[in-house]
Amino acid sequence: MKTGRNKGMGVLGLALLVGLGGCKRGETIEKPSREEAGGEARAQESVGAAIFGTGVLAHDRSLVVAFERAGVIQGLTVDVGDTVAEGQVLATLDDADAKTELARERANRRGEQATLGRLRSDEDQVKLREEIARREAERSERLQKAGAIPEIENDRSQDAPRLVALDRRGVELQRGVILAKLAQAEAREAQASLWQRKTVLRASSAGRVVRRDTTAGSYTAPGSPVLVIAPAGSEVASLWVHESELPHVRAGASVQLTLRDRDRTRLQGRVRRVHLEADQRTHEVRVDVELAQLPATLVFGVRVDGQIERPGGGKP
């Protein structure tokens, strides 16, 4: 007969189990006690050749989702239990300052482009002056040789192309300076655009939200967790079996699962991973079972019973 203390411990264990729901690789999943499993567990252990285990629906890996910049969270579009697609918007930051910065840098870039456009007009004028001065120098030299003009006048005509060439070099130097400023303005605009885009947090892969660490209106720092997502394919049934059965549990073995939900949903699976560290108190080992199909309603933390195929033909 169970005592009141044993009942209290059973309820506490179940609450901890449901609260955890799933874990990242390397974390410990709270397992149900033998007392919680009750007579049903002991009865099933002795049935046929299958290896019996009990545990919960969980996930064997997870992704922490965080912003790369600081800010105030403007909105969260998903909550715990929601499924998300790759690239889906999960949360946004207040981007008023980011938009202002981007507009300022865009205006600076356009200003440098306008300056470059005016300089191109000056370059065209200098080229025209160079051509006129060259032709005038050639004409003056012919006239001076023919004795039509004095030598001093020809000298002035020969100096004109050199003076215009100095103007051209000055324009070229200005062009280099303006191009450098334009490149800097373009880089600042690109950086501002990037930071503005980083006010939107998107899912890096499809999966299910298993934890939310903040709320709309809260301040978040770069890298601070906002959500935790279990990627698609990470869903497992984490069963606990007695360590004496460890030599008989092999990866890929067929597993028949029964959820302890209202409908007693039955699922099929295969052993994905056998953890080699046993619980020193209960002498049980955790076995992760890959699900062949997902239940219509997936809730991490739901209790599950499993019968693992034993080598030598024992079917669950």
CA distances from 64 to 61, 67, 209 (A): 10, 10, 10
Question: Which strand ranges, in their side-by-side order, compose the sheet holding 63-66?
Answer: 63-66, 225-231, 207-212, 83-84
pLDDT at 157: 85
Distance CA 36, CA 282 (A): 13
Stretch among 35-39, 100-104, 157-161, 269-273 having the lowest mean pLDDT: 35-39
Which residue reads 């790369």 in tokens? 68
- Structure confidence at residue 29 as a pLDDT band (50, 70, 90): low
What would the pLDDT profile of 222-255 be if each residue is shown by its tens digit?
Answer: 999 999 999 999 999 999 999 999 999 999 999 9
* Six-digit token string for 218: 């809260």
Amino acid at 171: V
Kindly report, residue by residue over 33-51, the tens digit of the pLDDT. 544 444 344 334 434 579 9
- Cα 252 from chain centre: 31
Q: What are phi and psi of 192, to 5 degrees?
A: -65, -40
Query: How many CB atoms sit inside 10 A of residue 146's CB?
Result: 8
Q: Is 87 left (phi over 0), alpha (psi -120 to 50) or beta?
A: left
The answer to whether 138 touches 157, Cβ cutoff 8 Å, is: no
Distance CA 146, CA 134 (A): 19
CA-to-CA separations, 157 to 97, 137, 146, 151, 152, in angstroms, rounded: 60, 5, 16, 10, 9
Q: Is 95 helix (H, G, I), strand (E, B) or coil?
A: coil
Q: Is 216 helix (H, G, I), strand (E, B) or coil?
A: coil
Residue 1 has pLDDT above 70, yes or no: no
Q: What is the pTM of this model?
A: 0.64
CA 29 to chain centre: 25
pLDDT at residue 91 in the model: 97
pLDDT for 32 equals: 57
Query: Quick one: DSSP state of residue 296?
Result: S
* Contact in structure between 288 and 60 (CB atoms under 8 Å): yes
The pLDDT score that the predictor gives to residue 34 is 46
Within 198-240, residue ranges assigned H as helices are none
Angle at CA of residue 178, ends 177 and 182, nearest 5°: 120
DSSP H helical ranges for the chain = 4-20, 34-45, 96-145, 151-197
